[in-house]
Structure 1
């Protein structure tokens, strides 16, 4: 389980989605206060669901197809988080001129990259198993 590279990628995804939103600011508001994901219940809930999906995918290593599907669902969830970040940053009045966007808005993008790398490694494992079965 842990000796596979996709498990490492998924563990990094758990760290990105489950730990970093508590410490990295998403943006700075117009009155110079840092806004974290923990300030919004929706964001922290979606980040924690993403971390749980990645953990489920790690422990579902015996069923590679299910693991692949869970990672795809997690990617869709991270795209939804990105969409909510963009929507929220564009709808606040006066936000375009006075607020600063933080590195926290990029967390779902980093998570998507590591999920895609994990899916690539899962596909490679699946192809290896299929080729060995073909030889028999």
Structure 2
């Protein structure tokens, strides 16, 4: 039954990963030099005050990890006939999201250390979308467990 509430949560996880891929994750403004560092799902860029890119470094692993999380959420939606497999996929997805948050944090923290700035940069909507996706994934797993408990209780009655 694809019309369950956990399907909505899993779809929202995939949508949140789309937001993560499509928007900025973090930015740091350096007021003394007028430069801005920004992290997206695929690149870390240094832009000067006129808008010209000074330096850009590929961060493809962030984008591919976010895409993998979104894909696993979509695959999990269609595993509704096998709830244990669906829960396992969601647990793996949770681990991947923790890895994504850790990779983003380590990347930004390393850059702040390298730049030697006093004030840390600000996290943008793409980063917060990952945290929202983690909560939605947890809620989906909770409802899948409720369904499994309901099915087991009905089997005991027979």
Structure 1 segments (4+ residues) deviating >6 Å: none
Larger Rg: 2
Number of the residue aligned with 1:103: 125
Number of the residue aligned with 1:15: 15
Q: How many angstroms apart in 1 are the aligned matches of 2:20 and 2:106?
A: 18
Deviation at 1:24, TM superposition (A): 2.0
CA 1:98–1:91 in 2, change beyond 3 Å: closer, same or farther? same
Q: How many angstroms apart in 1 are the aligned matches of 2:101 and 2:78?
A: 26
* Unaligned runs of at least 5 residues, structure 1: none
Q: How many angstroms apart in 2 are the aligned matches of 1:119 and 1:125?
A: 10
Number of the residue aligned with 1:27: 26
Q: How many angstroms apart in 1 are the aligned matches of 2:41 and 2:21?
A: 7
Superposed CA RMSD in Å reads: 1.6
Deviation at 1:35, TM superposition (A): 2.8
Per mean C-alpha deviation after superposition, the further-off stretch among 98-107 and 109-118 is 98-107
* Correspondence for 1:60 among 76, 79, 94: 79
Deviation at 1:38, TM superposition (A): 3.0
* Cα deviation code 1:9-39 (max 9, x no counterpart): 000001011x212332111244225432132
CA 1:125–1:98 in 2, change beyond 3 Å: closer, same or farther? closer
Matched, 1:131 2:153: yes
Query: TM (normalized to structure 2)?
Result: 0.79
Query: TM (normalized to structure 1)?
Result: 0.91
The answer to which structure has the higher strand fraction is: 2
* Unaligned runs of at least 5 residues, structure 2: 30-34, 44-58
Deviation at 1:63, TM superposition (A): 0.2
